[in-house]
Amino acid sequence: AQSVTQPDIHITVSEGASLELRCNYSYGATPYLFWYVQSPGQGLQLLLKYFSGDTLVQGIKGFEAEFKRSQSSFNLRKPSVHWSDAAEYFCAVGAGVGNEKLTFGTGTRLTIIP
Amino acid sequence: GAVVSQHPSWVICKSGTSVKIECRSLDFQATTMFWYRQFPKQSLMLMATSNEGSKATYEQGVEKDKFLINHASLTLSTLTVTSAHPEDSSFYICSASTGTQYFGPGTRLTVL
């Protein structure tokens, strides 16, 4: 069965600092990997996804993520955070088209301090 | 593109009544839609997978007679919470899939 671990429940960074959110997955085949962001009381917005090809994926809002098969990781990064990045971030793994059910991590809450 | 709407965005109802939540993909068609439940400060819990024209597939522990799902078209799925009770109060989120899931803004249900 597939699973996702987000080891950091809560992260606080200063505005303008760099950010890395960790995500480790467990899946028997090549995974389909996603990062979503959720603002309070809102649905989820897709930041980026990895299906195949280049292991460094660029997303919206200046985010990127790198797929590392050897480490079973798909960490999310941003070089300089903005106050508006404060939100909950979810990593998810899926089996792909034809079996589109996702397994979500428990989320990482990001707080930005001025 | 890939916009999903939910209606209503929030609803308050009395215990014992039924509530219907609509999920629409506005600019694309989705054979598969998903319904999730989210408790405060927790991750999303998948309730069911909804396929257009067929019966929904419910996750273990989810009562199919309580949470009725209808996927009438490629752009519309509905979740009806029947005989709602206070413990059904939660945030319900749908998604529509093209191979990537796109999420609606969620519906806050409060049962008094």
CB B80 within 8 A of CB A15: no
Q: Which residue has the higher pLDDT, B43 or A14?
A: A14
A57 vs A63: CA distance, rounded Å: 9
Taking CB atoms and an 8 Å limit, are B93 and A43 in contact across chains?
A: yes
A91 vs A44: CA distance, rounded Å: 11
State pLDDT tens for residues B88-99: 999 999 999 888
Q: How confident is the model at residue A80 (pLDDT cuts 50, 70, 90)?
A: very high
B56 vs B32: CA distance, rounded Å: 10
Q: Work out the mean pLDDT of chain A and round it to a whole number.
A: 92
Query: Within a 10 A sphere around the Cβ of A70, how many other Cβ atoms?
Result: 5
Return the pLDDT at A28: 76
A13 vs A110: CA distance, rounded Å: 8
pLDDT at A99 over 70: no
Between the two ends of chain A, the Cα-to-Cα distance in Å is: 41
Q: From A99, which residue of chain B is nearest by alpha-carbon distance?
A: B99
A101 touches chain B (CB under 8 A): yes
Taking CB atoms and an 8 Å limit, are A100 and B44 in contact across chains?
A: no
In chain B, the largest separation of any two C-alpha atoms, in whole Å, equals 38
A11 touches chain B (CB under 8 A): no
| DSSP code, position B29 | -
